[in-house]
Amino acid sequence: MDGRIPPLGPGNLEDFTATSREFTWASVDREFAWSAGGSYNVAAEAIDRHAQNWRRNKIALYSVQAGGEVRKLTFGEMAELTGRFASGLERLGAVKGDRVFVYLDRKPELYIAIVGIAKMGGIAGPLFSALGPEAFKDRALDCGASIIVTSPYLYRRLEPVLDDLVNVKRFIIVGDDEGLDGRTVRFDEVLESGDPGYQAVNMAPTDPYIIHYTSGSTGKPKGVLLGHRAMIQQLMGCRYVADLREDDTYWCTADPGWVTGTSVGIFGPWYLGTSLVSYEGRFDARVWYSIIERFKVNVWFTAPTALRMLMRAGNDVVKEYDLSGLRHVCSAGEPLNPEVVRWGLDVLGRRIHDNWWQTETGAPCISNFRCMDIKPGSMGRPIPGVVAAIVDENGLEVAPGTFGFLALRPGWPSMMIGIWRNTPKFKEYFDVPGWYISGDQAYRDEDGYFWFLGRADDVIKTSGERLGPFEVESALIEHPAVAEAGVIGKPDELRGEIVKAFITLRPGVVPSERLKAEITVFVKTRLAYYAYPREIEFVETLPKTRSGKIMRRVLKAMETGQPPGDLTMLDE
């Protein structure tokens, strides 16, 4: 295939084929303190272990506040603060297995709370601070959260639903809790009451440390439980996928409310003893570039939506900043359009390493690696230790180039251990014997690279062909007038479905029928004859989840007049 981007040379992963052949998960065990008799606990490995060696005074976290002020915490300080928080929680009556929600902006307390909860054997439930009260309530009632860590303004936002939160015993408030109701206690008081030398509770590998609600792209968000054992794959994901080394400065832009924000945003890098940068504020191209410059970020983990926004901000903006420290760039969460990969190369001067995984997989499973060619538009190959395949409905592997279900061989270390109070849903993933069925459709090429087509529900059946929306969207955004595109199958008597595209235009572009015709011709010359959109609609914005993913089911519902389903995850 043309358009390949050659390898950057060996990274932490030197030889994909040889390592994939020889690798065993057991070989990673000895990197953890538990293998030498320590507690089996993600908090002990992410923080306490480092506080007991020369990394004690190393910065664990640079927390950039919305106003630009920076708060720094060392591994030693983190160990004491998370210990205090863990034992303070116990004093409030929390016990192993309790669900404790963390509903905060990206401040140091967010990190202290998540790790502290895991340390005492609790299940942390990080919730993105942009969620509204109804979305919060759904989740709190679903898993019966008993303690909520939040801030005064977010607490006030919850006021309309406070009476409904019947399981909640305490709100721990970061800041001043004056004037809030009797169920509150200040975060600082909890810390003061706690023991800085608290030892992490010894857990079983399959005990959960976190509950993450999925993004809600396809339906009602599911409460996915990840076990302490996930640490094994999160460490390897950071090492091989993010090419992270311990002396790097690392910035993952995902909010800890999503799996990316904790698996490769907090725990994975801390297992490696890396310094993290976190940014509290909203997206702003100049601020983002300036963070990379100011902290000399070496490894940057972000998402397609963010990259498309940076593209939209213009190519000249990049030139104002010194990004020379940046060694490695990753993207996950949504398909990464080839156009964005090429922009990365031309404008950022970096390869962008797309990788595929899900809340349910707990860590990266398929990825592009430094030592491999990138084929723009492909998610790459399975990480060593993960067996991925394209199968049909009977679990039989299909030939290269054939569409099918993207499946994994169960048993990778970070695989979810359950879905909160929904065993039938959990079992559905394993309906096809021998496989975990991801719900995504894809194909594998002759070289073993995986190519994403779409969610199983989003795949378009037109004129007897099956077509993934991603391919059409990627062709559309290559047109200079197009900023973003969402593509669906619209029911059609003759063709089964026709391809319909919803398009947002770049700033300053005037919509017209002529432009529609021009875009149609543009796509026709790039894709199979049946793949061009027979209908185009210009829209101001595309419906997205709070985590920034295009919600095609909402577009489809708008088009067909069907009920759109659960909308608590719709952004705005």
Interface contacts to ligand ATP, rule CB under 6 A: 214-219, 221, 258, 332-335, 354-356, 358-359, 379, 438-440, 452, 455, 549
Contact by Cβ (8 Å): 438, 453:
no
Q: 247: which 2 tokens? A: 């002396």
Contact by Cβ (8 Å): 313, 284:
no
User: Which partner in Mg ion, ligand ATP, none is near 216 (CB below 5 to 8 A by kind)?
Assistant: ligand ATP
Contact by Cβ (8 Å): 219, 209:
no
Shortest Cβ 36–ligand ATP spacing (Å): 34
In the numeric block, the tokens 């707990």 are attached to 362
Shortest Cβ 215–ligand ATP spacing (Å): 4
Shortest Cβ 543–Mg ion spacing (Å): 16
Quick one: 325 or 439, whose CB is closer to ligand ATP? 439
Shortest Cβ 219–Mg ion spacing (Å): 9
User: Which partner in Mg ion, ligand ATP, none is near 242 (CB below 5 to 8 A by kind)?
Assistant: none
Shortest Cβ 449–ligand ATP spacing (Å): 12
Quick one: 12 or 214, whose CB is closer to Mg ion? 214
Give the contacts of 224 (CB within 8 A, at least 6 positions apart).
Answer: 211, 212, 213, 214, 259, 359, 360, 416, 419, 420
Quick one: 55 or 455, whose CB is closer to ligand ATP? 455
Stretch that binds Mg ion, among 84-92, 93-101, 185-193, 209-217 (CB under 5 A): 209-217
User: Which partner in Mg ion, ligand ATP, none is near 420 (CB below 5 to 8 A by kind)?
Assistant: none
User: Which partner in Mg ion, ligand ATP, none is near 335 (CB below 5 to 8 A by kind)?
Assistant: ligand ATP
Shortest Cβ 146–ligand ATP spacing (Å): 24
Shortest Cβ 354–ligand ATP spacing (Å): 5
User: Which partner in ligand ATP, Mg ion, none is near 221 (CB below 5 to 8 A by kind)?
Assistant: ligand ATP
Quick one: 406 or 475, whose CB is closer to Mg ion? 406
Of 119, 387, 416, 90, the closest CA to residue 270 belongs to 119
Q: How many residues bind Mg ion (CB under 5 A)?
A: 1
Quick one: 67 or 424, whose CB is closer to ligand ATP? 424
What phi, psi does 377 have (nearest 5°)?
105, -15
Quick one: 50 or 139, whose CB is closer to ligand ATP? 139
CA 50 and chain centroid, separation: 26
Task: Give the number of other Cβ atoms within 10 Å of residue 411's Cβ.
Answer: 11
Quick one: 151 or 438, whose CB is closer to ligand ATP? 438
Quick one: 332 or 515, whose CB is closer to ligand ATP? 332
In the beta sheet, which residues pair with residue 442? 404, 452
Stretch that binds Mg ion, among 55-63, 119-127, 208-216, 460-468 (CB under 5 A): 208-216
* Type of residue numbered 108: P
Cα separation, 366 vs 117, in Å, equals 30
Per DSSP bridges, beta strands 59-64 and 99-103 are unpaired
* Type of residue numbered 242: A
How open is the CA angle 352-354-359, to the nearest 5 degrees? 140
Quick one: 198 or 343, whose CB is closer to ligand ATP? 343
DSSP per residue over 452-478, as a string? Answer: EEEEGGG-EEETTEEE-HHHHHHHHTT
User: Which partner in ligand ATP, Mg ion, none is near 171 (CB below 5 to 8 A by kind)?
Assistant: none
Hey, is 543 helix, strand or coil?
Answer: coil
Contact by Cβ (8 Å): 425, 390:
no
Contact by Cβ (8 Å): 390, 404:
yes
Shortest Cβ 457–ligand ATP spacing (Å): 9
User: Which partner in ligand ATP, Mg ion, none is near 333 (CB below 5 to 8 A by kind)?
Assistant: ligand ATP
Shortest Cβ 283–Mg ion spacing (Å): 23
Q: Indicate the Cα dihedral angle 471, 472, 474, 477, nearest 10°.
A: 180
Q: Among residue numbers 210 through 229, which ones bind Mg ion (CB under 5 A)?
A: 214
Widest distance between CA atoms in the chain: 70
Quick one: 249 or 359, whose CB is closer to ligand ATP? 359
User: Which partner in ligand ATP, Mg ion, none is near 349 (CB below 5 to 8 A by kind)?
Assistant: none
For the four alpha carbons of 297, 301, 307 and 309, in that order, the dihedral sign comes to negative
Alpha helices in 272-419 (DSSP H): 285-294, 304-312, 315-319, 338-343
Shortest Cβ 217–ligand ATP spacing (Å): 3
Site residues, Mg ion (CB under 5 A):
214
